[in-house]
Structure 1
Amino acid sequence: MPKAPSILRLCKDPAKATVGKFYEFKNATDTSVDLYFYGDIVSDWWGAWQEEDQYPEAIKNFLAEAGGKDLNIYINSGGGSVFAGIAIYNMLKRYTGKKTVYVDALAGSIASVIAFADSDMPTIPSNAYLMIHKPWAVCDGNATELRKMADTLDAVESGIWAIYEEHLAEGVTIETIKELMEAETWLNGTQAAQYFRVKVGEENTIAAAVQDYTKFYCHNVPQKLLSGEAHAGQQDREKRNKIIELTMAHMGQ
């Protein structure tokens, strides 16, 4: 594993793998605990950039502390590292407590996969979004290296198909979902229920977590989600973009 570049040393130390104040147990009872995904899904090797970001090692420790209690999982995330997201999804699926997922505003990209860790059906309000698309990466190198990355992305996509296929609405085929992914599709709660087994919840007023880099890699972001101010300032955006670049480079090694 490469040594983290200096820009990443300002991030949460992944070796400590704590969930941070934002992810401390909220509304914990004797039988249940709340878990929030309100930021980016990031890799263990550089850790969380903001309190809201999350990575697999921290989730593993969080689940160990939860000790089998039921989980209420709240999602408002545009996604992030596909490999980190798959790892988190698998951890949640193995977790013995009941999982109830609520998409508060956005479950985009790999966060849409995490939403299906629900023990039954995730709840998506009629004005919240599920965004699905083909996995992507930034890669440089020679022809052999580029083909290797393309093969890796194909393999990752096949794994995502398998997860989505377990949660299809009656009469929907995975071929239809593949077409939606190819087109990068943003589904509100009502639309999502046409393709997946989800519960449609009542409208809420939570703003979707559409970060600047989400706007960079997504082409069909609903206009209503673009009208608000970005969460991060200019300096933070520049650092985040650099981190994305470094993470993508790490994926190709």
Structure 2
Amino acid sequence: MPNSLTKLLASNKKRPERVPQSKIVAKDGGDTEIYIYDAIVADEDTAYWWGGVSAEALVPEIRAIKGGTIRLRINSPGGDVFAAQAICQAIRDTGAKVVAHIDGYAASAATVIATAADEVEISDGGFFMIHNAWTWTMGNASDLTATATLLSKVDASLASQYAKKSGMSVDAVKAAMDAETWYTADEAVAAGLVDRIATGAKVEASWDLSAYAKAPKPAPTNQIDPVATDEHRARQQQRIATMARLQVS
């Protein structure tokens, strides 16, 4: 059975309106826009095979920004939490004022990046999702126990970050993560995870979120499944299985 992270990346690899990788756009007046309109991955090798915003490529670009205001535009189904944390730290280290704009979905690791902002706003119709970390691994009982311990530590770290942003207790955040909670724009503001709802047109984000148990259902579509054959799916699964590193989302 494919790992949920693998499924998330594969099911969105050829989404037609997907913005390749990410974009950093410098504007007059010292403003910089960073677009994270993709899944979040650790390195360029993963991005080549699966698509995604690569922290390996993006972090050096962010670190070149010095001061001003960063407008962090997010429409992402999530991905690798360690990559997201690296992006967070790079954003903090710029010394800029950071305003996150959730233009569609901020799910999973994408919400971690939003916590690096001084202010967070969400479009009407957007979603903010938090859940417990996922991973894939193999080995003996000791290996699996060690992995479970790591996941528990990751969950505790995430809960602390969300609690600091929202003002919720860590226990309340952990309960929401256990439940895979999808906050609407209004609910995210009420929970304190987001500061305000953006003015403007309502958005309809279109990520394939079938990897998640409780994702909102997408509008009907006539798109052909980009992973159309069992053979193609098997090749992709074999590729990611050969990557000798632990990946957590």
- Please report the TM-score for the alignment, with normalisation by the length of structure 2: 0.78
Residue 106 (structure 1) shift: 0.3
Matched, 1:234 2:227: yes
Equivalent residue for 1:130? Answer: 128
Residue 196 (structure 1) shift: 1.8
Any gaps of 5 or more consecutive residues in structure 2? 1-18
Give RMSD over aligned pairs.
Answer: 2.9
Q: 1:144 to 1:162 in 2, by over 3 A?
A: same
Aligned counterpart in structure 1 of residue 161 of structure 2, from 156, 163, 170: 163
Instruction: Name which structure has the greater RCO, CA cutoff 8 Å, separation 6+.
Output: 2
Residue 229 (structure 1) shift: 5.9
Residue 175 (structure 1) shift: 1.4
Aligned pairs for 1:2-81 (under 5 A) are 23-26=22-25, 28-44=27-43, 46-49=45-48, 53-81=52-80
Equivalent residue for 2:189? Answer: 193
Equivalent residue for 2:216? Answer: 222
Contact 2:125–2:185 (Cα < 8 Å) also in 1: yes
**What code does the residue aligned with 1:177 have?**
V
> SS of the counterpart of 2:58?
helix
In 2, the alpha carbon distance for the partners of 1:80 and 1:215 equals 14
Contact 1:37–1:52 (Cα < 8 Å) also in 2: no
Identity %: 24
Q: 1:147 to 1:88 in 2, by over 3 A?
A: same
Q: 1:94 to 1:68 in 2, by over 3 A?
A: same
Q: 1:230 to 1:49 in 2, by over 3 A?
A: farther
Moved more, 106-115 or 229-238: 229-238
Q: 1:235 to 1:91 in 2, by over 3 A?
A: farther
Q: 1:30 to 1:244 in 2, by over 3 A?
A: farther
In 1, the alpha carbon distance for the partners of 2:27 and 2:188 equals 30
Contact 2:39–2:78 (Cα < 8 Å) also in 1: yes
In 1, the alpha carbon distance for the partners of 2:50 and 2:64 equals 19
Matched, 1:100 2:99: yes
Aligned counterpart in structure 2 of residue 251 of structure 1, from 239, 246, 249: 246
Q: 1:107 to 1:81 in 2, by over 3 A?
A: same
> SS of the counterpart of 1:234?
coil
Aligned counterpart in structure 1 of residue 177 of structure 2, from 177, 181, 193: 181
**What code does the residue aligned with 1:36 have?**
Y
Any gaps of 5 or more consecutive residues in structure 1? 1-19
Matched, 1:210 2:207: yes
In 1, the alpha carbon distance for the partners of 2:107 and 2:193 equals 17
Residue 60 (structure 1) shift: 2.1
Moved more, 195-204 or 103-112: 195-204
In 2, the alpha carbon distance for the partners of 1:232 and 1:40 equals 18
In 2, the alpha carbon distance for the partners of 1:144 and 1:75 equals 38
Contact 2:22–2:37 (Cα < 8 Å) also in 1: no
> SS of the counterpart of 2:48?
coil
In 2, the alpha carbon distance for the partners of 1:46 and 1:105 equals 27
**What code does the residue aligned with 2:113 have?**
I
Equivalent residue for 2:86? Answer: 87
**What code does the residue aligned with 2:220 have?**
S
**What code does the residue aligned with 1:192 have?**
A
Matched, 1:114 2:113: yes
Q: 1:135 to 1:203 in 2, by over 3 A?
A: farther
